[in-house]
A and B are shown apart, each in its own frame.
Chain A
Amino acid sequence: MSNHCSERLAIVIPAYNEAASIAGVIADVKAHAPWATVIVVDDTSTDGTAGIARKAGAIVLPLSIHLGAWGAMQAGIRYAERHRFGRVVTMDADGQHLAAELPGLVAHLDAPGINVVIGAYPERGSRARRLAWSFFRLLTGFSYQDLTSGFRAYDRAAMVVVGAREASLLDYQDVGVLLLLRKAGLQVVEHSVQMRPRIAGASHIFNSWLAVGMYMFETVIMSCARWHVHRFVPVRR
């Protein structure tokens, strides 16, 4: 039997200077998932994002130092864990992720043994980005189509894993988090979603060659350091 209603859902939205889009994103979530609690993590914005989010009815976590997308997300996940939410979904504040996809994404957690759902939209990547993804798949042994999606749903077991100290030195939310989840033996599945082209601004990672280089370097080193011996896992029936 599905426990869709008994598990309280938190939507964590990390935001850095997203005054233009944050209110719309919160309204969207409230329209499509009125039972969810919206948690906006304000990563030291200077454009009044926090105030707008509060007015729109979100709980706002005001970070005192800039932690980046993952640090902000982790703050929200820890908050949800602390307040005994059963599930958490992370979303971008720029309107890229569609609240209409929330119910479908979260529904996968009803299946027994599923801990994390990735909202996958691999079509969004440029050719270079897809090439990088293939490389990371090869390096990590993951078969996910969309390794970098920030649109994910976590159950309680996964919240505990990604909220732990071990995850606090990560600089990006994508491959490193998946590596930790695999190490903890949790099940991750993908769910195809539609995404909207970014309303404003480009990807924070793919906007300068230096940042791309740093991201590639960190991800490669991390994948190598967290080597994983491939085993044949018997298929459970």
Chain B
Amino acid sequence: MNYHTSAAVISVIAVVAILLLIRRDHLRIRYSIWWLFVAFVTLVLGMFPETINLMGRIFGVAYPPTLVLAIGIIGLLIKILTMDIEHSRQERTIRRLAQRLAMFEADQQVQQRHPTGHNFSPPD
């Protein structure tokens, strides 16, 4: 087996895995963009390793494989940071939902205790 085939096999496995996860509803389609992109890059770099050398020449890197590692790590860091941003957004939404739910439950309680429409809020 040469490197062309192994790169192609890895990419295909990655794409199939992503599609399976979407099919089973474990992965939001929006998030699959990143993973399909990773599979695509793997395929390109595997099929045409000359691109690595070309990039090395463009960026002035003596040993091009380190460039691949560096770009890979930077890409992962950006991905993780955006995940934390997304996580923060969700945390905010969850907290406010819990507050909102508690507010509605309190209103319901007040209404049950005073079914005649007695309300502590003044009319508009």
Q: Which residues of chain A have a CB within 8 Å of any CB of chain B?
A: 8, 37, 39, 41, 54, 59-65, 67, 71, 74-75, 78-79, 82-84, 165, 168-169
Contacts and interface: CB of A to CB of B under 8 A. Distances in A.
A41 B120 contact: no
Given A59-B109, A60-B109, A62-B106, A83 B120 contact: yes
Contact of B103 (A71, A78, A168): A78
Interface string B82-124: 0000001001101110111111011001100000000011100
Contacts of B105: 61-62
Q: How large is the interface on B (under 10, 10 to 19, 20 to 34, 35 or more residues)?
A: 10 to 19
B118 to A, nearest CB: 13
B95 to A, nearest CB: 5
A85 to B, nearest CB: 9
Interface string B38-49: 000000000000
Binding site secondary structure of chain A: mixed
B13 to A, nearest CB: 39
A42 B96 CA distance: 15
Contacts of A59: 106, 109-110, 120
B103 A75 contact: yes
A173 to B, nearest CB: 14
Contact of B95 (A71, A82, A84): A71
Contact of B102 (A61, A83, A168): A61
Nearest to B106: A61
Given A64-B101, A71-B99, 12 more contacts: A62-B105, A63-B98, A64-B98, A65-B98, A67-B95, A67-B98, A67-B99, A79-B103, A83-B120, A83-B121, A165-B92, A169-B95
Interface of B: 88, 91-92, 94-96, 98-103, 105-106, 109-110, 120-122
Contacts of A74: 99
Nearest to A163: B99
Contact of B99 (A54, A60, A63, A169): A63
Nearest to B89: A169
B99 to A, nearest CB: 4
A119 B109 CA distance: 31
Contact of B120 (A37, A78, A168): A37
Nearest to A83: B121
B102 A41 contact: yes
Contacts of B120: 37, 59, 83
A75 B98 CA distance: 9
A78 B88 CA distance: 21
Given A37-B120, A63-B98, A165-B92, A82 B103 contact: yes
A211 B57 CA distance: 51
Nearest to B94: A65
Contact of B109 (A41, A54, A67): A54
10 contacts: A8-B122, A62-B106, A64-B98, A65-B94, A65-B95, A74-B99, A75-B99, A78-B100, A78-B103, A169-B95
